[in-house]
Amino acid sequence: MNDAKPGQRPTKLPKPVAFPPLDAKAMGARIRAARESRKWSQRQLASAIGRSKVSVTTYESARVCPSVATLVALAKALDRSLDWLAMGRPRRWVHGKWAGGGGRLP
């Protein structure tokens, strides 16, 4: 695959992996839905993830996309999979199909 000699740049670069774009509005709606299903206020969620209420408001309204670290904290606090929060996919691939619904963790 790489026909470059030592000290030379490779002539063929690997193809970049294409990821679907994040839909911030849909992600914000999933964050809000998961928070409301726990009957938490924005302040309670903010406390659980170590952020401010204003930050949670900006995530839910899609004015700001949370960082990966914040998404991980949100997933843990809301008992949802990271994949579901970010992309809206069910929790995991099992035996050739997506298992579970709503991204709930086992």
**At 52, which CATH number?**
1.10.260.40
Tens digit of each residue's pLDDT (9 = 90 or more) over 61-96: 999 999 999 999 999 999 998 888 988 876 555 566
| Domain span including residue 66 | 24-88
What is d(CA 87, CA 23) in angstroms, rounded to the nearest whole number? 8
6 domain residue, yes or no: no
103 domain residue, yes or no: no
39 domain residue, yes or no: yes
What is d(CA 65, CA 71) in angstroms, rounded to the nearest whole number? 9
12 domain residue, yes or no: no
What is d(CA 92, CA 58) in angstroms, rounded to the nearest whole number? 28
AA letter at 45? L
Q: What is the percent of the chain where pLDDT is above 90? A: 51
66 domain residue, yes or no: yes
Please give the tally of structural domains in the chain: 1
**pLDDT attached to residue 106:** 45
19 domain residue, yes or no: no
Average pLDDT of the residues in 37-45: 97
32 domain residue, yes or no: yes
Lowest mean pLDDT among 21-30, 31-40, 43-52: 21-30
